[in-house]
Structure 1
């Protein structure tokens, strides 16, 4: 029998962290951290997905993310935050960005989508870019986005990645 994926919930609001833990705990092994420092103590190669709050009192989610990546952990990271997305998410090494409030169905659907994506090698970056574009498009008008270098870079990265994946299929 396959082991359950492990999810690390990082949220400084204890009630919310415990709620997320309860929601995903039925289908996954779950670790819970109420601040950035304890998140960094618990993250390991055994963690498959991190649900990461962006604003916490001891260190930001961005700082936690940077440290997790610097340590070489290749887990999926979903920012679950009250912070509206800005163009700065383009440079974050995340797989999805969700603005609170989030529902149980929304959270479990995102995790399941990531699990499905993980079965298709080489598609993670495509999924991440698509999610960032969708998040930004939901937060602002497409006309405003298209005038930014960051969004145009995402569009170009998506096109290049899509072309290279299509070339790979042609060669099979």
Structure 2
């Protein structure tokens, strides 16, 4: 997927790694770079995905990830580090954890997965908000009256469209994404029970 309106921030204290990742990503995305934590924080404006090393001068990648999470819920974060993960990553704000060395396809696939997750999260939040409005209307107005109201009909149409988009997005997820099968919520008040199995 190529989209130069999408911005990826590469942060690593090794300039060779920064240059390599930038060369892999620049044909697909707009790329910003930084070699320490403070510079990374200064470059966050307009960033969609941040790729962070954990060991950085001035402040750690973990700190940068936490600050991204605090400032901007729309920016997705991946740790790309030579440090093997331990249980401490439970407290790190990241959607992916990659251990270097990694290759070009792994890096590009990671950014693409984070993009898909962000799209899914945005659509899910929008759908949930619209569903709450529909629920409030249905609790206070007779159904026959609502079905004649063009605003209500349009609201239902928007929810249906978003649910279709959510279903389409989940079909694009793979085993590396969430490592679990899941289904788009019903949003009609009906319960959906699905057995979830971890994929090997």
Query: What is the TM-score when the length of structure 2 is the normalising length?
Result: 0.60
**Counterpart secondary structure, 1:57:** coil
Distance 1:122 1:92, change over 3 A: farther
- 1:28 is matched with 29
Deviations 1:63-114 (A, max 9, x none): 1112222223530101000111111222222110000001001000111122
Deviations 1:100-132 (A, max 9, x none): 001001000111122223332349xx9xxx979
Kindly indicate whether structure 1 or structure 2 has the higher relative contact order, using CA contacts under 8 Å at least 6 residues apart: 1
The question of whether the paired residues in 2 share the 8 Å contact of 1:8 and 1:51 is answered with: yes
- 2:44 is matched with 43
Distance 1:122 1:3, change over 3 A: same
The question of whether the paired residues in 1 share the 8 Å contact of 2:10 and 2:34 is answered with: yes
- 1:155 is matched with none
Aligned residues: 139
Once residues 62 and 90 of structure 1 are traced to their aligned partners in structure 2, the CA distance between those partners, rounded to angstroms, is: 11
The question of whether the paired residues in 2 share the 8 Å contact of 1:96 and 1:131 is answered with: no
Distance 1:113 1:133, change over 3 A: closer
**Counterpart secondary structure, 1:54:** coil
Bigger-Rg structure (1/2): 2
Q: How does 1:41-80 map to 2 (within 5 A)?
A: 41-44=42-45, 46-80=46-80
Which protein is richer in helix relative to its size?
Answer: 1
The question of whether the paired residues in 1 share the 8 Å contact of 2:82 and 2:100 is answered with: yes
Over 3 Å off, 4+ runs? 130-134, 165-172
**Counterpart secondary structure, 1:119:** helix
Distance 1:6 1:88, change over 3 A: same
The question of whether the paired residues in 1 share the 8 Å contact of 2:9 and 2:50 is answered with: yes
**Counterpart secondary structure, 1:26:** coil
